[in-house]
Chain A
Amino acid sequence: MQNIKHDLVVIGGGPAGLAAAISARRNGCRDVLLIERAKTYGGILNQCIHDGFGLHRFGETLTGPEYAQLYIDEFKAQRLEAMLGTIVLSMDSGRNLYVSSRNGFKKIEAGAVILSMGCRERTAGAISLPGTRPAGIYTAGAAQNFINLQNIMVGKQAVIMGSGDIGLIMARRMTLEGAKVESVFEILPYASGLPRNIQQCLNDYDIPLHLSTSVINLHGKERLTGVTVAEVNEGLMPVPGTERYVPCDTLLLSVGLIPENELSRGANVVMESRTGGAQVDDTLMTSLPGVFSCGNVLHVHDLVDHVSEEAELAGRFAVEYLDGGIQPRESYIQIEPGEGVRYVLPQKVSGARDFTLSLRVAAPSRNQSVWVKDSEKKLARKKMLRLHPAEMVRIKVKANKLGSAKRLCVSVK
């Protein structure tokens, strides 16, 4: 078995991995290897042929493939090395990776590792959807792959369960390709996708969105013939008497994304249950020295622009680590989500440098502020006209404000 060494290995060649590798090179790392499972770069962006990518970073709205291409061009211009069509099968806590491809099975010893594997979709099984198991039930992303990359239509009459962004995008896409999209059903009292997607994908096409309503049964033994939907109460349980049958041959699920951290778990990286990603510090380093995490494998983002930014930081800090500039510390300042905040990361910071917190609120609200406090001492505040769980909030904190803080709490008031 071939045994090779690299200073930095980046796992995943989607938007996070590409940006991390480019950033590592720009910050002076000569030996970067990017490993990508598919035969092409770009990850999930390749099937996202709708526009809206890059508004924050480039001031224009690009399609997914266009956004990816900017990074692929730069990756190639920097003469970065990659293994395509290669999967990392396992990683240990000493940064030894076993990888497999048509070219062989190899062991790679990495000086530092950036985890940028992205996320996967929650399935019918994961949400324990009752009923039969006929053909015609797809995660929205799988349907997007069939339609956009393989030119295959998944059905003619669709119901969308969940109002995640991919579901909204696919409601429009199915409609444009001649399918009838009956409705989008969201179990929560608010949509989980971005407001702009509600407008551009549903309202503009007269596709109804039913909030506080969920699919509670599937029908059809061979191909899906319909679903039963019902309104739900505050405990998200179906309200008796509100059930109705909606005929359809296709159900697309857009019920959440799960960071794909099986490799991280295999290496005993300490995980965070609120995000499904690793616990990281202000350098995006995980509990394993020299192992960094960024993008959707760290926490699910709503905008790729923020993925790229986060990945660039990971790339920069990984190089700093390789140069000996980052050491694990004895103690950190802990950061905790307070009232109205679902999660916040990094979960701990050194206090040695300024940092940006990324967080999601627990419920929609208007005219509120996000506060970062050291018990009662206010360290940072961001005023928000509207706060929504679908939209990640970022807030900068200056190191010189931290003083002797041991624990910061982030809350909405």
Chain B
Amino acid sequence: MMKKCDVIIIGAGVVGNAIARELSRYEVSIAVLEKELDVAMGASSRNSGVLHSGIHYKPGTLRARLSVQGNAMMKDLCSDLKIKIEYIGKLTVAQDEDGIETLHSLKEQGEANNVPGLEILDQEQMQQIQPGVGGIKALYSPSTGIICPYGLSIALAENAAANGVEFYLGHGVTNISKNSREFVVNTAQGEEFEAPVLINSAGLFSDRVCEMLGIDEYRIYPCRGEYLVLDKRLKGTLSTLVYPAPRKGGAGLGIHLTNTVDGNILIGPSSEYVDEPDDFASTSEIMTQLKKEGHELLPELSTTDFIRSFSGLRAKQNPPEVGGYKDFIIESRDDFPGFINLVGIESPGLTSAPAIGLMAKEMVGRFVDLKDKDRFVSERPGSVGFFHELPEEKKADLVAKNPDYGEVICRCEQITKKEILDAIQNPLRNSTINGIKYRSRAMMGRCQGGFCLPRIVEILKQEFGYKPEDYLLQSKGSPLFSGRVR
């Protein structure tokens, strides 16, 4: 099959999806090529889910400008996309005089970046915001927030799809060439796409996309961050984010506790360079360390509160021996007119994504005519949050209208059959078990699907005709079952 369009986007992470959604406001045809069977399978879904305020980045850099702009855009965006967002603020805590100095320079830097509301707090003021917090002074940034990272990525893609963007999932790019006018992109499916504009938002694989075009100046060094997920029992123990004052030359912001919008707490991330851009393993050394630090940071923590571990990878541009950060690469290449190249979008990539979408749109506008669509729908249907978060009266109304809301399938997270059916019938037509998990939250609770996975398997069989070989965990090579019982 040969498909002609105006714009090809490689990589359906949060950045690719934000660009796709921004471009879907205009009369252009867009194809998003993604090697995985779902969007946001790399760094976009595997992070702390924090909206950064922008205090940590050198003024004048893309990271500084786009994070502050993205943070400010996020509130309206989340309201349109019907996803949860909470601006819970952050305390960056100093333990000694050196730390206090760091706080002052962070505040100055933040103010130069136009971060709103920064304040240095003394111990008494710190206690009012987060009782029990240690340290002698803190920098408070009220615009720091939390968001569900895969929720945002999926919602951006779904809204883009509703506005005409075509998502090709399971289409890993195998070759890219350029003829006189167009980029020609081949995928593992044996299909060919042609467009005058090509956008590289392949994240951890962005250097490989560059290489396919003969651009060899970039290299990504994956830096793994491991996390532990805590039981919702501890919901409410943290009212704000608490970070240690950063050390110089570190690759991350240090191990800390992060509340999620869904009521869990994350411990992490660690920071360790690995060889492969898809090495998402957890290690016993780091998990032991995270548990130890978790117990120190959160005295209420019990050994039975750990429900899951996961890890993400930062797309670092510096090799391990150099460490630290480099600014995002977002460039319109003169040597390949029409090639818009995004490399090294690590933290604060999630926060910056909406602003990156705008910036990429400006670049695209130089190559194709961006005429406003008559009917761009900015809102995603549905409501913010989950059934179990509604007041009792509202629940009763919904069950009366649709009995599928009355049937709770995932008992840990209290996810109803209606929500599972919605997740199965998602607009991107992902049909994997993890796709259902990321969309509905079923299987994300303390029993980790031990109870509801068998029931979801039953629903897929009874209502969608699944055979044993049809069930995939996440990828084509991840069948759940080996067949029928003989």
**Could you tell me if A120 and B308 are in contact, using CB atoms closer than 8 angstroms?**
no
Complex interface residues of chain A between 264 and 287 (CB less than 8 A to chain B): 265, 273, 276
List B contacts of A89 (CB < 8 A): 388, 408, 414
**Could you tell me if B307 and A123 are in contact, using CB atoms closer than 8 angstroms?**
yes
Instruction: Out of B310, B448, B453, B482, name the residue touching A249 (CB < 8 Å).
Output: B482
Expressed in whole angstroms, the Cα–Cα distance for A274 and B288 within the complex equals: 23
**Could you tell me if A105 and B309 are in contact, using CB atoms closer than 8 angstroms?**
no
**Could you tell me if B486 and A178 are in contact, using CB atoms closer than 8 angstroms?**
yes
Expressed in whole angstroms, the Cα–Cα distance for A249 and B479 within the complex equals: 10
List A contacts of B280 (CB < 8 A): 132-133
- Select from chain B the residue with minimum beta-carbon distance to A102: B403
A121-151 toward B: CB 8 Å interface, digit per residue (1/0)? 1011110101111111001011001110111
How many residues of chain A get a CB closer than 8 Å to chain B's CBs?
57
Expressed in whole angstroms, the minimum distance between the Cβ of A49 and any Cβ of chain B is 12
**Could you tell me if A123 and B482 are in contact, using CB atoms closer than 8 angstroms?**
no
Instruction: Decide yes or no: A150 and B407 within 8 Å by CB, A1-B392, A128-B287, A222-B475 being known contacts.
Output: no
User: Does A85 interact with chain B (Cβ within 8 Å)?
Assistant: yes
List A contacts of B407 (CB < 8 A): 85, 100-102
Stretch from B12-20, B65-73, B316-324, B393-401 at the A interface: B393-401
**Could you tell me if A221 and B392 are in contact, using CB atoms closer than 8 angstroms?**
no
Complex interface residues of chain A between 139 and 180 (CB less than 8 A to chain B): 139, 141-142, 145-147, 149-156, 177-178
Instruction: Out of A125, A130, A146, name the residue touching B306 (CB < 8 Å).
Output: A125
Q: How many A-B residue pairs have CB under 8 A?
A: 155
Expressed in whole angstroms, the Cα–Cα distance for A139 and B228 within the complex equals: 20
User: Does A258 interact with chain B (Cβ within 8 Å)?
Assistant: yes
Expressed in whole angstroms, the minimum distance between the Cβ of A166 and any Cβ of chain B is 11
Complex interface residues of chain B between 407 and 432 (CB less than 8 A to chain A): 407-408, 411-412, 414, 416
A216-237 toward B: CB 8 Å interface, digit per residue (1/0)? 1110011100000000000000
User: Does B82 interact with chain A (Cβ within 8 Å)?
Assistant: no
Expressed in whole angstroms, the minimum distance between the Cβ of B139 and any Cβ of chain A is 33
List A contacts of B302 (CB < 8 A): 273
List A contacts of B228 (CB < 8 A): 128
**Could you tell me if B395 and A120 are in contact, using CB atoms closer than 8 angstroms?**
no
**Could you tell me if A177 and B486 are in contact, using CB atoms closer than 8 angstroms?**
yes
**Could you tell me if B281 and A132 are in contact, using CB atoms closer than 8 angstroms?**
yes
Expressed in whole angstroms, the Cα–Cα distance for A87 and B411 within the complex equals: 8
Complex interface residues of chain A between 174 and 231 (CB less than 8 A to chain B): 177-178, 216-218, 221-223
User: Does A104 interact with chain B (Cβ within 8 Å)?
Assistant: yes
Instruction: Out of B229, B478, B486, name the residue touching A153 (CB < 8 Å).
Output: B486
List B contacts of A221 (CB < 8 A): 278, 477
**Could you tell me if B281 and A131 are in contact, using CB atoms closer than 8 angstroms?**
yes
List B contacts of A151 (CB < 8 A): 484-485
**Could you tell me if B448 and A125 are in contact, using CB atoms closer than 8 angstroms?**
yes
List B contacts of A98 (CB < 8 A): 392
Expressed in whole angstroms, the Cα–Cα distance for A373 and B310 within the complex equals: 48
Expressed in whole angstroms, the minimum distance between the Cβ of B9 and any Cβ of chain A is 25
**Could you tell me if B457 and A152 are in contact, using CB atoms closer than 8 angstroms?**
yes
Expressed in whole angstroms, the Cα–Cα distance for A124 and B281 within the complex equals: 13
List B contacts of A178 (CB < 8 A): 486
- Select from chain A the residue with minimum beta-carbon distance to B276: A221
List A contacts of B307 (CB < 8 A): 123, 125-126
User: Does A327 interact with chain B (Cβ within 8 Å)?
Assistant: no
User: Does B451 interact with chain A (Cβ within 8 Å)?
Assistant: yes
List A contacts of B381 (CB < 8 A): none
List B contacts of A216 (CB < 8 A): 284
Expressed in whole angstroms, the minimum distance between the Cβ of A4 and any Cβ of chain B is 13
**Could you tell me if A150 and B482 are in contact, using CB atoms closer than 8 angstroms?**
no
**Could you tell me if A87 and B408 are in contact, using CB atoms closer than 8 angstroms?**
yes
User: Does B483 interact with chain A (Cβ within 8 Å)?
Assistant: yes
Expressed in whole angstroms, the Cα–Cα distance for A126 and B229 within the complex equals: 10
Expressed in whole angstroms, the Cα–Cα distance for A92 and B18 within the complex equals: 44
A93-115 toward B: CB 8 Å interface, digit per residue (1/0)? 00000101111111100000000
Expressed in whole angstroms, the Cα–Cα distance for A299 and B160 within the complex equals: 51
List A contacts of B380 (CB < 8 A): none
List A contacts of B393 (CB < 8 A): 1
List A contacts of B411 (CB < 8 A): 37, 87
Beyond A102-B404, A107-B392, A123-B307, 5 additional pairs, beta carbon < 8 A: A1-B393, A87-B414, A149-B454, A150-B457, A265-B233
- Residue contacts A-B, CB under 8 angstroms, 17 given: A100-B416, A103-B403, A104-B400, A120-B451, A123-B307, A125-B308, A128-B284, A128-B309, A134-B478, A135-B472, A146-B454, A150-B458, A150-B461, A177-B486, A223-B478, A262-B412, A273-B302
Q: Point out residues on B near A: beta carbons under 8 Å.
A: 228-229, 233, 278, 280-284, 287, 291, 302, 304, 306-310, 388, 392-393, 395-396, 399-400, 403-408, 411-412, 414, 416, 446-451, 453-454, 457-458, 461, 468, 472-486
